């Protein structure tokens, strides 16, 4: 799937989140009594979820050496965790009298942040256990020390466990803090050392070589066909487009007169492209997008980068480029602030999101990274949701890609959704295949899901038609997050209860173009075949595209709302369900039994014709076991923004 670009399959690298995680409780070590349902045992406060699910008795390799080095973060609960969650819901719900009554970052810290007394007591406890405090923020305390000190501090034994062919240490039972600190300590991360490297949701070019799409192309959907190629579904399939541009996307999603003026969109990824400013400027000039004014694009970057090799740092340059160029294409007047993480690890990505919230750098935050739910580490989930809730009460909304492997069965063997799109406190963005016709007319969308069949050697048929699953929008039902209130009565019961007896969080919430065969044209500096750096362009897709497109549309909606932030948008998104605000996307927009496909020609080496080309048929609307149907579905959610979506926020 290198050609056209969706995201690379993600490796768990540091992402742990969810709105309501299973409370994984175990018997506390060192002779401590088990905690009751409240999390207290009389002397200790259980930090539920701190024993990872992979730390099983079958995988247990024995005790971790007491001298083993440990680096951990103790996240602070703040003043009123329940009050924060309650107000985050109220301020986001159009039916609430508190709707839109946002707080400033300073007010959030004063009302819900950790107190000096809490920080002091937590610091004293950690120091007295033999751990060394190496850093303190208003969100967490960082400590280092050996395993023996960590076991004393958190009243649990550390054991070694086999996981995916490697050995890692982790708590053998739920960690805990002194009961006197129950109101101060939210959770602890870092007691296990399994690597968690999150990758961007885009199948971008390899770190160095240039990637190019081979022609022929359609200039708009259906504009070019080849009568000599075999038919598919009763007709000749058109060539894939070269790549949609901003003008076409704005027309498809009802931008009209809106430009995102006086709205700021933040983008978080790992690392930072050294050529982003010139690439974005050149791309805009080549494709008729509005030129960037001075200061419109800015970056907030860490002092240093880490895990460069593990994370494939250069691959993230293309992710930033896609996100920036897509937001600007849809909302050309919006300011864009890129907040780069020091690595693709959990703590570093969390720090980037924290910068956005603590400094209220933007009202809309686009995030094109994540992981599968099975890799979710519950100990970090509480920290992420606390951050999302703090953003919500300030009027900040987070938008996350839903993933690019459909139901994940082909990728992992397990039917599951992706994180953090599964969180009840973020907007999960699914994907579509988009047809924009002549004169930028919106024609239709299907759910993004592709099957690939290659042209036979004699050119007379498509081999193994319609072919194997080749990628599609992530979706389905969470196994850990209960159904949020805003999905009740909209998500069908048979869908929300598909995996468990109880109703659970369904993904996604909304959708936009993601199919790389109907994708977006991106311009980026890459390493050319001659070894020199140069600007080049290629078509890209994945829910990495859908997320910034929706972020751009939300910037238009905020402008239409006279600049009032949309905040956590899901309650408002679902309130508009079933109206002209959305295109109700189905897999058969032309009628039952009328399947759709495009033809793609790709360079074998991804750069030029020296190694030849391959021709394939890409069938659309074939997303693993997921189906885009009338009404809410687990490929496109409530649908994609229609002509009435942005204007609906004027009222």
Q: What is the DSSP string of 375-441?
A: G--HHHHHHHHHHHHHHHHHT-EEEEE--SBTTSHHHHSS---EETTT-TTSEEEEEEEEEE-GGG-
Name the strand (E) or helix (H) holding 154: helix 147-154
Residue 344 backbone dihedrals phi, psi, to 5 degrees: -90, 15
- How far apart, in whole angstroms, are the C-alpha atoms of residue 615 and residue 613? 7
**Amino acid 310: pLDDT:** 85
CATH topology for the 200-650 domain: Rossmann fold (3.40.50)
**Amino acid 225: pLDDT:** 97
**Amino acid 381: pLDDT:** 77
**Amino acid 383: pLDDT:** 85
- How far apart, in whole angstroms, are the C-alpha atoms of residue 556 and residue 207? 34
**Amino acid 22: pLDDT:** 17
In the chain, % of residues over pLDDT 70 = 91
Is 50 exceeded by the pLDDT of residue 4? no
**Amino acid 198: pLDDT:** 55
Mean predicted confidence (pLDDT) in 46-59: 90
**Amino acid 378: pLDDT:** 72
In Å, what is the CA distance from 398 to each residue of 267, 280, 395, 637, 651?
10, 23, 10, 16, 23
Is 50 exceeded by the pLDDT of residue 35? no
Query: pLDDT band at 36, cuts 50/70/90?
Result: very low
Averaged pLDDT score across all residues of the chain: 90
**Amino acid 374: pLDDT:** 84
Smallest CA-to-CA distance from 202 within 318, 372, 327 is with: 318
Mean predicted confidence (pLDDT) in 152-159: 97
**Amino acid 10: pLDDT:** 32
Query: pLDDT band at 95, cuts 50/70/90?
Result: very high
**Amino acid 380: pLDDT:** 75
Residue 559 backbone dihedrals phi, psi, to 5 degrees: -65, -45
**Amino acid 40: pLDDT:** 44
Mean predicted confidence (pLDDT) in 218-241: 97
| Range from 7-16, 137-146, 370-379, 437-446 carrying the lowest mean pLDDT | 7-16
Is 70 exceeded by the pLDDT of residue 226? yes
Helical ranges in 462-533 per DSSP H: 493-496
For 462, which DSSP code? B
Smallest CA-to-CA distance from 47 within 136, 148, 174, 143 is with: 174
Q: Tell me which range, 302-306, 386-390, 526-530, is most confidently predicted by mean pLDDT.
A: 386-390
**Amino acid 23: pLDDT:** 16
For 1, which DSSP code? -
- How far apart, in whole angstroms, are the C-alpha atoms of residue 39 and residue 301? 38
- Condensed to tens digits (0 to 9), the pLDDT of residues 170-206 reads 999 999 999 999 999 999 999 998 876 555 544 333 3
**Amino acid 196: pLDDT:** 64
Tokens in use for 214?
């081979």
**Amino acid 642: pLDDT:** 97
**Amino acid 30: pLDDT:** 28
Read off the pTM. 0.91
| Range from 11-25, 441-455, 553-567 carrying the lowest mean pLDDT | 11-25
Is 60 exceeded by the pLDDT of residue 592? yes
Tokens in use for 296?
């419109």
Domain ranges of the chain: 44-199, 200-650
Query: pLDDT band at 494, cuts 50/70/90?
Result: very high
């Amino acid at each position: 799937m290198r050609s056209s670009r969706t995201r690379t399959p993600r490796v768990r690298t540091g992402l742990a989140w969810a709105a309501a995680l299973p409370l994984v409780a175990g018997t506390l070590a060192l002779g401590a009594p088990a905690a009751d349902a409240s999390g207290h045992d009389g002397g200790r406060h259980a930090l539920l979820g701190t024993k990872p699910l992979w730390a099983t008795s079958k995988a247990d390799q024995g005790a971790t050496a007491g001298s083993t080095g440990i680096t951990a973060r103790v996240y602070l609960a703040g003043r009123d965790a329940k009050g924060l969650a309650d107000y985050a819901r109220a301020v986001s719900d159009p039916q609430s009298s508190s709707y839109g009554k946002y707080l400033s970052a300073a007010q959030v810290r004063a009302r819900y942040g950790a107190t000096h007394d809490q920080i002091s007591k937590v610091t004293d406890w950690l120091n007295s256990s033999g751990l060394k405090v190496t850093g303190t923020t208003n969100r967490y305390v960082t400590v280092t020390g050996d395993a023996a000190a960590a076991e004393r501090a958190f009243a649990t034994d550390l054991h070694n466990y086999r996981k995916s062919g490697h050995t890692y240490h982790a708590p053998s039972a739920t960690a805990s803090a002194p009961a006197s600190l129950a109101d101060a300590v939210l959770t602890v991360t870092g007691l296990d050392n399994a690597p968690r490297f999150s990758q961007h949701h885009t199948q971008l070019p390899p770190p160095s070589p240039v990637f190019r799409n081979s022609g022929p192309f359609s200039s708009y959907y259906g504009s070019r066909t080849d009568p000599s190629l075999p038919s598919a579904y009763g007709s000749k399939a058109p060539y894939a487009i070269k790549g949609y541009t901003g003008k076409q996307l704005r027309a498809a999603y009802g931008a009209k007169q809106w430009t995102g003026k006086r709205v700021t969109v933040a983008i978080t990824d790992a690392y930072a492209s050294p050529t982003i400013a010139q690439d974005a400027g050149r791309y805009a000039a080549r494709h008729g997008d509005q030129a960037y004014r001075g200061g419109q694009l800015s970056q907030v970057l860490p002092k240093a980068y880490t895990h460069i090799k593990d994370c494939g740092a250069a691959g993230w340059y293309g992710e930033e480029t896609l996100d920036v160029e897509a937001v600007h294409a849809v909302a050309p007047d919006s300011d864009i602030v890129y907040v780069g993480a020091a690595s693709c690890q959990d703590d570093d990505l969390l720090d980037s999101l924290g910068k956005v919230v603590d400094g209220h750098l933007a009202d809309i935050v686009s995030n094109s990274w994540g992981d599968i739910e099975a890799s979710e580490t519950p100990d970090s989930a509480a920290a992420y949701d606390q951050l999302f809730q703090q953003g919500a009460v300030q009027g900040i909304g987070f938008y996350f890609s839903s993933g690019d492997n459909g139901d994940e069965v082909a990728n992992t063997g397990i039917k599951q959704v992706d994180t953090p799109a599964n969180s009840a406190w973020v907007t999960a963005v699914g994907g579509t295949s988009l047809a924009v016709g002549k004169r930028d007319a919106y024609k239709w969308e299907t759910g993004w899901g592709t099957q690939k069949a290659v042209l036979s050697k004699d050119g007379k048929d498509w081999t193994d038609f319609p072919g194997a699953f080749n990628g599609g929008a992530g979706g389905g039902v969470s196994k850990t997050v209960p159904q949020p209130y805003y999905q009740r009565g909209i998500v069908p019961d048979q869908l929300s209860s598909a995996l468990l007896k109880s109703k659970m969080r369904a993904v996604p919430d909304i959708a936009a173009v993601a199919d790389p065969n109907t994708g977006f044209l991106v311009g980026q500096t890459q390493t050319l075949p001659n070894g020199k750096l140069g600007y080049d362009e290629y078509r890209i897709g994945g829910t990495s595209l859908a997320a910034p497109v929706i972020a751009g549309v939300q910037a238009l909606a905020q402008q239409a709302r006279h600049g009032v932030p949309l905040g956590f948008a899901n309650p408002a998104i679902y309130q508009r369900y079933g109206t002209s605000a959305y295109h109700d996307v189905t897999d058969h927009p032309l009628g039952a039994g009328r399947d759709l496909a495009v033809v793609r020609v790709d360079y074998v080496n991804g750069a030029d014709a020296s190694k030849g080309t391959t021709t394939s048929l890409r069938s659309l609307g074939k997303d693993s076991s997921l189906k885009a149907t009338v009404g809410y579905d687990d490929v496109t959610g409530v649908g994609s923004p229609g002509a009435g979506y942005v204007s609906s926020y004027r009222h």
